């Protein structure tokens, strides 16, 4: 069989088990997408948990996504998430589907999923070939 011309652009996104988080998908632009500045990760959450207790920053932009899992009602979000932004740790409470833009250098976290009454998806996209804290 001839080698696929465009197969390099199709990457299987299989979840791996992480002890603390459960099933998580991590893809890295440097490893999986030929060196691109795109590194997504996502996890399904079914119960409350502290995901990150310490604030940190990155040398690249990042986007944080908070979604419900009901495909028939994409506005359904039965959870409460607390996210802190900035050096002063300004608290933001997320109670509906939300996307947070985190510019390069902005300190963010702690990130606390305080209530999860129905499963939700958390996804972050790092505009970088790797995920690194500083």
Domain ranges of the chain: 15-126
pLDDT recorded at residue 97: 97
Collect all residues with Cβ–Cβ distance below 8 Å to 36 and sequence separation of at least 6: 29, 30, 129
| Per-residue model confidence as pLDDT tens digits over 13-25 | 878 877 777 788 8
| Per-residue model confidence as pLDDT tens digits over 49-103 | 999 999 999 999 999 999 999 999 989 999 999 999 999 999 999 999 999 999 9
Q: Using an 8 Å Cβ cutoff, are 115 and 94 in contact?
A: no
Sign of the torsion angle spanned by Cα atoms 75, 114, 26, 64: positive
pLDDT recorded at residue 111: 98
| Per-residue model confidence as pLDDT tens digits over 81-95 | 999 999 999 999 999
Q: CA geometry: angle at 38 spanning 113 and 96, to 5°?
A: 30
pTM (2 d.p.): 0.88
With 60 as the cut, is the pLDDT of residue 1 above it?
no
| Per-residue model confidence as pLDDT tens digits over 32-54 | 888 899 999 999 999 999 999 99
Collect all residues with Cβ–Cβ distance below 8 Å to 6 and sequence separation of at least 6: none
DSSP conformation class of 103:
-
Identify the architecture of domain 15-126 in CATH: Sandwich (2.60)
In total, the chain counts a number of residues equal to 134
Burial class (CB in 10 A: 0-12, 13-18, 19+), 62: buried
């Amino acid at each position: 069989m001839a080698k696929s011309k465009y197969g390099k652009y199709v990457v299987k996104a299989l979840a791996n088990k992480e002890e603390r988080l459960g099933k998580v998908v991590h893809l890295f632009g440097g490893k999986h997408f030929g060196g691109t500045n795109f590194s997504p990760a996502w996890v399904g959450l079914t119960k409350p948990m502290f995901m990150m207790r310490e604030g940190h920053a990155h040398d690249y932009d990042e986007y944080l996504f908070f979604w419900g899992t009901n495909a028939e009602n994409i506005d359904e979000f039965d959870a409460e998430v607390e996210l802190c932004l900035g050096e002063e740790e300004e608290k933001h409470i997320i109670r509906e589907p939300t996307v947070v833009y985190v510019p390069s250098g902005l300190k963010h976290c702690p990130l606390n999923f305080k209530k999860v009454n129905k499963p939700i998806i958390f996804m972050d996209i790092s505009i970088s070939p790797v995920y690194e804290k500083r």
